[in-house]
Each structure stands twice: as C-alpha cells, then as structure tokens.
Amino acid sequence: MLNNLNKPLVGIVLGAILGLFDGSTAMLYPDSRPLIVSILIGSTFKGLFTGLVAGFFARKFQSIPIGILIGLLAGMAFTYPIAIEPVNGKSYFLEIMIPGSILGAVVGFATQRFGKSPAIS
C-alpha cells in the first residue's frame, strides 16, 4: 500500500501517525496529562513536518543511511521548540528530544524504502 503513494506523502502519513503515537506517550507522565490535547497536536505536526522533509529528500536522493540521518536531524529540529518549553515548570527536554529524533530516523528510513519515486522524463 505504501508503495502506491509518493515519497513525501509516505513521509506525511507515517510522520503524522508516529507523531501522534509519540505524543500519546505523554500520558505516562501525570504532569503532562492536563496538556495532552496540545501535546498530541504539536507532536502530530512535528511528525508531519519531519515526514515532509524526509519525503522530499528521498524524492531527490536515494541513500538509506543519509535518509535516516536527515530524518533524525529533522526530527531533532522540529522537536527542539517543543522540548525547550517547560511543562508546569518542569523541563522534559530529553524525554521529548531523544524519542522524537529516533522517530524522525524511522520516518527517514521509511521514505527511502517505500513510496514511488517520480518518473524520469
């Protein structure tokens, strides 16, 4: 199914799903529960933008290691603004940055592996 979509779309879909999942893990932290809706929205958009960057990269360049690295860096970059914001006065920098970056790497890999490349004209 994923191979029928183009690479940026694979990135957007997968990034959004994984972002939503990643955001939902905030339920594990009692301090974050009152803010869960905004966390879920923020995390979903973070995943979506990461997927978009990784998808466009995969459209232009075919390299799994570099694709993973780009996903990791994009995940890191889009997670940073969320991670520096303290929740109830407490910082969750590592709790947000590390898993968010790894999910970026997963999306980076998936966009390299799945999805249609544009036809050569």
Partner 1 sequence: MRPLSDQALHRLRAAATEPDFQETRYRLIRELGRGGMGTVYLAEDSLLNRKVAIKVFHLDDASPALAARMRHEARTLASLEHPNIVPVYDFGQLPCGRLYYSMKFVEGSRLDEQLSQSLPRKLRLFDSICEAVAYAHARGVIHRDLKPANIMIGAFGEVLVMDWGLAKIGYDAHSAGHVLGTPHYMAPEQARAEPHLDARADIYSLGRILEFLCAAEAPKPVQSMIRKACHPDPASRYAGAQDLGLDALRFLDGMPVTAHKESPFELAVRFFNNNRTLLLLVFTYAAMRFLVFFFSRR
Interface ranges with partner 1 (CB under 8 A): 25, 28-29, 64, 68, 92, 94-95, 98-99, 102-103, 105-106, 109-110, 113
CA separation for the pair 41, 20 (Å, rounded): 7
**How near is the Cβ of 121 to partner 1 at its closest, in Å?**
26
Q: How far is the CB of 102 from partner 1 (least distance, A)?
A: 4
Rank residues 14 and 52 by Cβ distance to partner 1 and give the closer one: 14
**In this structure, are residues 10 and 106 in contact, taking their beta carbons and an 8 Å threshold?**
no
Residue with tokens 């990461």: 50
Minimum distance of partner 1 from residue 6's CB (angstroms): 20
Cα 92 to Cα 9, 26, 27, 57: the distances in Å are 30, 10, 13, 30
Looking at the chain, how many residues does it have?
A: 121
Residues β-bridged to residue 116: 6
Contact between 15 and 54 (Cβ < 8 Å): yes
Q: Please, what is the minimum distance in Å from the beta carbon of residue 18 to partner 1?
A: 9
CB-wise, 52 or 72, nearer to partner 1?
72
CB closer to partner 1, 52 vs 101: 101
| Closest CB to partner 1 among residues 29, 56 | 29
